[in-house]
Structures are given as C-alpha cells and as structure tokens.
Amino acid sequence: MTIAADISRFLDHLTVERGAAANTVSSYRRDLERYRRYLESRDIESIDAVTEEDVREFLVDLRRGDPDAGHTPLADSSVARTLVATRRFHKFAVEEGIVATDVAHAVRPPRPARRLPKSLPVEEVLAILEAAGAEDHPRALRDRALLEFLYSCGARITEATSLDIDDLDLDTRAVRLRGKGGKERLVPLGGPAIDAIDAYLVRGRPALVSRATPALFLNARGGRLSRQSAWQVLVTAAERAGLDKAVSPHTLRHSFATHLLDGGADVRVVQELLGHASVTTTQVYTLVTVNTMREVYAVAHPRAR
C-alpha cells in the first residue's frame, strides 16, 4: 500500500472513529501531504521504508525551507504541529498492523527560541511615571503610586492589586509581597515610590474609599482595584507619555530586573526580589544585558570591527 493510501486511511479513522473536527482533519491532511511529498522526494514509497532519521530530517527540512520551490521556513510552533500529525500517523500505522515499529515515537519537536523579556529604557519608564502623575486628583495620585510601586520592587500585577495597607512598612521602606503559591517575600521600596504612596494615602485614598477595606489600591467605587484596571492605568500613562509600543505591567517588572542587572546587581539578589523559585528563570535577563554590552562595545571600541 502506498503512503498516500495509508494517510487517507488515517484521516478516515480520525473522522469516523475519533470524531475529529473538520478543521483538525484539514490541518492533519495539509501537514501529512507535506510529509508525503518530502518522503517522495527521497524515493520512499512505503511507510515501512521510513526510518527515524527520515523523520528527523523532515523536521530539519521544514525549518530550512526551500526558496527554489517556494517553501518558506516554518516557525518552530508550526514544525511542532506538523510533527504531532506525523507522530500520530506513525502510531496509527503500528496500531493497525501496517508496520511493526513506530519510528517517529522518539522524535521530539524543536525547542522554541528563548525569547528575551521586553524592557524599557530608563528614560521611557520615567516618562510613563511622570505622565501618570501629571494631574493632582485622587485617581492620578493612585495611578502614580501604583506605577512607582510596580517599577520600584518588580512586583507582579496580582501582587500589587492584592496588596493591603498593612503589608506596607513605610518606616523601613519595605513591602511584604505574596507571590505564586502563597510564598511571601520582603522587598525594599525606593524613595520615589515611598513618596508617591504616602501622597496617595494622605490625599488620594481617603477620597476614594467608601467602605472599610484593607486594600491599598482602590477603584473609583472604593473597592479593590482589579488587574484589568491596573493594566489600563499603565496603558493610559504610556499613551500620554507618547510611547508608540505595547506595554504591560510585566514590562515594568522586566525593566526593573534589567535595570538592576545593568547597574551591577547580583543575579541571585534579583532572583529573590522577583520571587523566582529558581535562578535559571532569572538568568534570561542576563541575555538582555549581554546584548546591551555587545551594542555598546561595537559602537565605542575602536577595534570592535
């Protein structure tokens, strides 16, 4: 039986016996047709002639592409999706007794490229903070205090919105944060954040509060500020500051970590401040600073090129 016939049998199995959605079957058909053409280009006409090396080379071929044939390189996510279809096809062939060995079982998808966290230059962060506090009314005081807080200690947005007044110790300039899994950590706060929070507590929060609540950051109705509303505070401030890039609360967290490392902070200290369980998670930020150093070196050193 030909590979095309085996693929058709597999697709019928997905449709009739597995009840797969039409879009799923269509996606599998497209990916397996690509696989069939690849095997055909290697003069492989029967599934029992396919080896594990053939499957691995297929992934390499997908990532490399073929400009002459009009095939652009696929992204890692698309390669991984195609491999899922290929592996299920080979598993089906074993289950149906078409072949004795599943040659695709040990093949793993490519690891996705490690994405660098997005961070902002210090001057852009300062512009956002200034824009948040440009007006003198209760919500503006809250917005400035919130954004100063996020950048000052690298808190997650949920850590900030779940904060209670009693979690603050303005005398020692520290805050108790509750991170993932309920794990607590004590983090220092900078002077500008302390000043902004103090101004908000004196002139902003009393005007917003409408009922007894321990929450630090309040919405216009006097309740605890939501994650979505806190996110919008940042987006609005960034727009007022004239930034033409997408920002999120995590952008301030990334900027906090990157600026600390750029300033010479030890990665393990930054790990503790961020509340990462493993230093490996934090080390991705070192890639940012290394890239920055390369750029500076390339521009400044007379023998860099």
CA dist., res. 75 & res. 176, Å (int):
42
Q: Phi first, then psi: what are they for 188, rounded to 5°?
A: -75, 155
Burial class (CB in 10 A: 0-12, 13-18, 19+), 304: exposed
CA dist., res. 67 & res. 270, Å (int):
45
Residue 5's identity, in one-letter code, is: A
Residue 21's identity, in one-letter code, is: A
Is 137 one of the annotated active-site residues of the chain? no
- DSSP conformational letter for 211: S
Q: Which of 87, 90, 144, 276 is catalytic?
A: 276
Q: Which of 30, 42, 108, 180 is catalytic?
A: 180
Take residue 246 and report the two structure tokens written for it: 């997408």
Is the CB of residue 228 less than 8 Å from the CB of residue 221?
no
Core vs surface per residue 190-226: b (16+ CB within 10 A) or e: eeebbebbebbbeebbeebeeeeeebbbbbeeeebbe
Is 88 one of the annotated active-site residues of the chain? no
* Start-to-end C-alpha separation, the chain: 59
CA dihedral 135, 137, 141, 144 (to 10 degrees): -30
Closest CA to 157 of 235, 42, 246: 235
Q: Which of 36, 142, 205, 253 is catalytic?
A: 253
Is 259 one of the annotated active-site residues of the chain? no
CA dist., res. 58 & res. 39, Å (int):
8
Is 13 one of the annotated active-site residues of the chain? no
Q: Which of 36, 156, 205, 254 is catalytic?
A: 156
Name beta bridge partners: 175: 168, 187
Q: Which of 29, 81, 185, 250 is catalytic?
A: 250
Catalytic center residues: 156, 180, 250, 253, 276, 285
